[in-house]
Structure 1
Amino acid sequence: MKRLRVVLLALSSLILFYACSYSCDDCVGNDQDRRCKTEAEELTSLAGEIMSSSLDNSLEKTGLIGSLEKCDLNKYSFLSDLENQFNCEIQRLSDRSRNLKSSLKTQSDYKVWEEFKEAYKSKPEIDTLLVNKKGELVYYKTISIDNKSCLNCHGNEKNMTRQFKERLSDLYPQDKAKNYLMNDLRGVWKVTFKNQQNK
């Protein structure tokens, strides 16, 4: 719980810092790219830390089955606060998603995913910033299975209890996010800055 409070304090500090600073609207060219990339890096790192802390706390209090919903980014209220503050959309996507909301959707998603999969073999931490068809800046970053606790829900199905699999099926009937190994590429963060034209 103490760790979670520290993370939430960091979230508040981040929002305050950028609220008192300038947004991507104030940047042009390379400055805009650098600014948005920095924001996206910090947003995804912070979101991941909050999710990890929340999951750890839930595992202690409610156990594995009671913590299944903690892996769904859309369940966290802080997400909308960040998106509103930074005028962006924050997503976690994968080719083997736990629910449809987390599936790869656009042509860019698939293109980046294939490039990341190939590059991941030699470099596990990869990110990129590109411009979509609307002229919006879009940031992608790899997500790895870098914590053994991730394998409780995303590892070998043979190691999962019947009760756990039944609950998993109830929550995520179209789940494909199983049978990963440690250090596998799990998915990508995607941050889309709304109406941030790359001038």
Structure 2
Amino acid sequence: MSHLSKFFQKQFHVFFSYKNNLIKLLSIFLFFQFFTVCDAGQNAEKKEILLRLISEFQIDLQKNLESAIRTKGVVGAIDVCRTISTEKEAALKTEFPGILIRRVSEKPRNPNHQPDAWETEIFNQWKESQKKQNTPYTVILSKNTEVRILQPIILQNPTCLQCHGSPKDINPEVSKKIAELYPKDQAKGYKLGELRGAFSAIW
């Protein structure tokens, strides 16, 4: 075989070796792109479901609380508020394994509703935003296959002040009941329009 033939044969192998490697690299790239798109689509669906569940939770809680106040008075409604929230959280966890939805606050009534580090960071951002007369916004974090949502709860209903307003304005019987059920209560001293807490969801 001539030197020229050997040269062309070598170039031929180099070309196809390069081509094969290029195809492999392209295949790997497309493989990861496919799963990236799938993850993005999956997270978008999770976000939609979580926002719906939070909305249903909020509506259900408000409806039951208003009904309890009408039928049992404010003192009697405190027991309802105490149980319905935890029952709803547990029911959602059972119905949707892998989903955690709860209420959190920097001044919680229930000590189990303390915010975690990420939630605390968002609360701080909201407070800074309110100083500039901006309304707190819903925060959605999508990381890998996990979605987190923190939706602010603004105290808008004057009825809420009967349990969460200034201590001097709260009925003594209501204060007594709160103290019995929540010895470490911090959830007083609010005014209308203030940030009361948030609905937190993780999936």
SS of alignment partner, residue 67 of structure 2: helix
Aligned partners of 2:38, 2:82: CA distance in 1, in Å?
Answer: 35
* Structure 1 length-normalised TM: 0.74
Contact 1:51–1:70 (CA under 8 A) maintained in structure 2: no
Q: Using the alignment, how far apart are the partners of 1:40 and 1:79 within structure 2?
A: 13
Question: Which runs of structure 1 show a deviation greater than 6 angstroms over 4 or more consecutive aligned residues?
Answer: none
Tell whether 2:109 aligns with 1:98. Answer: yes
Deviation at 1:160, TM superposition (A): 1.6
Partners of 2:198 and 2:38 in 1: how far apart? 26
Helix, strand or coil: the match of 1:71? helix
Instruction: Give, in angstroms, the shift of residue 35 of structure 1.
Output: 1.6
Tell me the CA shift for residue 188 of structure 1. Answer: 1.1
CA contact (8 A) 2:43 2:142 kept: no
Residue 130 of structure 2 corresponds to residue 109 of structure 1: no
Q: TM-score, normalised by structure 2?
A: 0.73
1:48 aligns with 2:67: no
Match of 2:151 among 141, 150, 166: 141
Give the share of equivalent positions with the same residue, in percent: 23
Q: Which residue of 2 aligns with 1:177?
A: 187
Q: Contact between 2:43 and 2:146, CA under 8 Å: does it hold in 1?
A: no
- Which of 57, 71, 76 aligns to 2:67? It is 57
For structure 1, the residue ranges without an aligned partner over 5 or more in a row are 1-26, 194-199
Match of 1:11 in 2: none
Structure with the greater alpha carbon radius of gyration: 2
1:20-43 deviation digits (Å, cap 9, x = unpaired): xxxxxxx83332332222112111
Question: Shift of the alpha carbon at 1:73?
Answer: 6.5
Check whether the contact 2:162–2:171 (CA below 8 A) recurs between aligned residues.
no
Instruction: Please report how far the alpha carbon of residue 152 of structure 1 lies from its aligned counterpart in structure 2 after TM superposition.
Output: 0.8
Answer yes or no: is the 8 Å Cα contact 1:33–1:129 preserved in 2. Answer: no
In the superposition, relative to structure 1, how do residues 156 and 76 fare at CA in structure 2: closer, same or farther (>3 Å)?
same
> Within 5 A, what are the aligned runs for 1:7-26?
none
Higher helix share: 2
Deviation at 1:162, TM superposition (A): 2.2
Asked if structure 2 preserves the Cα contact closer than 8 Å seen for 1:143 and 1:189, the reply is yes
Matched residue, 1:37: 47
How many residues of Structure 1 are paired with residues of Structure 2 in the alignment? Answer: 165
